């Protein structure tokens, strides 16, 4: 194969690699999320590699991002290494052609072959070293190895805390309206309306996602896979209530249904998220209240009332909570601040659930869970008419 062909191939490789370096899609950001950089190591070592650049967070507030230079730097490294190989091969070909010329003994054909080989080697070198100029003339962007720009995405600290807790996430006296059915009832209830045939028996006291729940996840994933996201979420939630499964805490319940089984995409509506720091002082004040010797129910009520005032002041009386409640659509996930966990301090002071439909009287029909309870259907107050403290909404798409 002749050198110009090799060089052309290298140009094509660089061209397609340059096309790959396009900016990533944007995502919402929480400026308080710590950033832990992870720098990869190439599986194929290339001479001259001394390590990739370190990642640095850039921007401020809601516009923080990270430029990821790894692909661009690796392409440049390959290009430089390829140039070295081509120079070496070209020099070898020139030396071979020179020896061939010197030993030609005046043979015109051999001399012409040697000249052609030298010419091709030199042309290959010129094309290789001139490839940057050629690409720049065609389109300057072809030689601009831009880093991949990735916006920092937020995490939901409250959801994470509620997902792992074993403590009740409902307020005193609230369990009945939530419809939660403890799995330590005697005798254990039957679930004849379950749409799946689950061979594992209904059990109590088993770890999260015991065998019956595992079977449910597998069956529900297959049954509803072709439905739209919201329909999937609602059908899976309804089936979970009818099948006698338990998925742990309230946060773990909705995340299992919405994320793990329905594989739905989750987004925060604009302006519909509250910062947990707005509620945390009232949770801490409630704990101090309990420590002073007052009853948990009294301290929870005081904490709720203070949080209610703070939220209405922050978002405006015309917006919160009724306008927020109006944005709920079947399949959405939301939180209620109920000041739970005042004695243990191990839960986030909120209870989360999947919205199903309005229930009247300012309440909502929901599907929710709790550690040691079956996934259950119940109602939650979400409007000012009944004192609802809706604090976060996640839409399903």
Q: How many angstroms separate the Cα of 33 from the Cα of each of 29, 68, 268, 270?
A: 8, 18, 17, 19
How many separate helices (H) and strands (E) can be counted in the chain?
A: 11, 11
Is the N-terminal amide bond of 321 cis, ω within 30° of 0? Answer: yes
pLDDT band at 164 (very low <50, low <70, confident <90, very high): low
Beta-bridge mates of residue 333: 354, 394
pLDDT band at 155 (very low <50, low <70, confident <90, very high): very low
Residue 323 has pLDDT above 70, yes or no: yes
How far apart CA 323 and CA 334 sit, in angstroms, is 14
Q: How many angstroms separate the Cα of 120 from the Cα of each of 11, 90, 108, 169?
A: 17, 9, 18, 77
Q: Residue 274's pLDDT is what?
A: 66
Q: Residue 379's pLDDT is what?
A: 95
Please tell me which residue, 190 or 274, carries the higher pLDDT value.
190
Q: Residue 204's pLDDT is what?
A: 66
How far apart CA 196 and CA 212 sit, in angstroms, is 11
pLDDT in tens, 298-309: 888 898 889 888
Q: Who contacts 144 (Cβ-Cβ below 8 Å, separation ≥6)?
A: 18
Q: Residue 21's pLDDT is what?
A: 33
Sequence-ordered strand ranges (E) for 78-223: 148-151, 181-182
Q: Considering only CA atoms, which of 350, 333, 299 is closest in space to residue 169?
A: 350
Q: Who contacts 236 (Cβ-Cβ below 8 Å, separation ≥6)?
A: 220, 224, 257, 261, 262
pLDDT band at 1 (very low <50, low <70, confident <90, very high): very low
Q: Considering only CA atoms, which of 137, 139, 101 is closest in space to residue 121?
A: 101
Q: Residue 184's pLDDT is what?
A: 73
Sequence-ordered strand ranges (E) for the chain: 57-58, 65-68, 148-151, 181-182, 266-267, 333-337, 350-360, 363-368, 373-374, 376-381, 390-396
Q: Residue 86's pLDDT is what?
A: 86
> What percent of the chain has pLDDT above 90?
25
How far apart CA 27 and CA 62 sit, in angstroms, is 10
Q: Residue 207's pLDDT is what?
A: 52
Beta-bridge mates of residue 373: 182
State the average pLDDT for the chain.
79
Residue 232 has pLDDT above 90, yes or no: yes
* pLDDT-wise least confident of 43-52, 204-213, 218-227, 273-282: 204-213
* pLDDT-wise least confident of 50-64, 150-164, 253-267: 150-164
Coil, helix or strand at residue 95: helix
Q: What is the mean pLDDT of residues 338-358?
A: 84
Q: Residue 363's pLDDT is what?
A: 94
How far apart CA 397 and CA 389 sit, in angstroms, is 24
pLDDT in tens, 352-380: 999 999 998 999 999 999 888 899 999 99
* pLDDT-wise least confident of 30-39, 80-89, 102-111, 350-359: 30-39
Q: Who contacts 31 (Cβ-Cβ below 8 Å, separation ≥6)?
A: 60, 61, 62, 64
| Environment class of 149 (CB within 10 Å of its CB; exposed 0-12, middle 13-18, buried 19+) | middle
CA angle 62, 63, 67 (to 5 degrees): 140
Q: Who contacts 325 (Cβ-Cβ below 8 Å, separation ≥6)?
A: 364, 382, 383, 388, 390
């Amino acid at each position: 194969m002749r050198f110009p062909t090799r060089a052309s191939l290298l140009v094509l490789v660089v061209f397609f690699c340059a096309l790959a370096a396009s900016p990533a899609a944007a995502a919402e950001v929480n400026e308080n999320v710590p950033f832990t950089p992870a720098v990869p190591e190439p599986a194929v070592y290339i001479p001259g590699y001394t390590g990739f650049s370190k990642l640095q967070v850039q921007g401020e507030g809601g516009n923080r991002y990270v430029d990821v230079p790894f692909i661009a730097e690796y392409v440049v490294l390959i290009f430089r290494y390829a140039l070295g190989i081509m120079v070496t091969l070209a020099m070898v070909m020139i030396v071979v052609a020179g020896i061939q010329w010197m030993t030609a003994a005046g043979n015109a054909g051999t001399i012409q072959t040697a000249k052609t080989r030298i010419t091709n080697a030199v042309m290959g070198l010129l094309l290789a070293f001139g490839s940057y100029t050629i690409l720049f003339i065609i389109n300057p962007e072809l030689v601009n190895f831009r880093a991949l720009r990735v916006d920092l995405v937020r995490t939901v600290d409250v959801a994470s805390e509620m997902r792992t807790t074993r403590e009740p996430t409902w307020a005193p006296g609230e369990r009945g309206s939530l419809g939660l059915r403890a799995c330590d009832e005697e005798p254990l209830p039957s679930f004849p309306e379950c749409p799946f045939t689950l061979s594992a028996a209904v059990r109590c006291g088993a770890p999260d996602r015991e065998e019956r729940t595992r079977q449910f996840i597998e069956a529900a994933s297959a049954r509803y896979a072709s439905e739209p996201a919201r329909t999937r979420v609602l059908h899976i939630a309804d089936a979970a209530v009818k099948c006698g499964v338990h998925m742990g805490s309230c946060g773990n319940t909705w995340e299992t249904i919405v994320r793990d089984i329905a594989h739905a995409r989750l987004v925060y509506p604009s302006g519909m998220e509250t910062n947990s720091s707005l509620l945390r002082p009232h949770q801490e004040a409630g704990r101090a209240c309990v420590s002073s010797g007052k009853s948990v129910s009294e301290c929870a009520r005081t904490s709720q009332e203070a949080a209610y005032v703070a939220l209405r002041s922050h978002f405006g009386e015309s917006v919160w909570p009724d306008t927020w409640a109006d944005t709920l659509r079947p399949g959405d996930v939301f939180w209620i601040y109920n000041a739970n966990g005042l004695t243990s301090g191990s839960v986030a002071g909120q209870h989360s659930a999947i919205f199903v439909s309005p229930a009247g009287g300012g309440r909502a029909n929901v599907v929710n869970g709790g550690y040691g309870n079956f996934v259950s259907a119940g109602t939650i107050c979400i409007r000012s008419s009944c004192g609802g403290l809706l604090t976060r909404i996640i839409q399903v798409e």
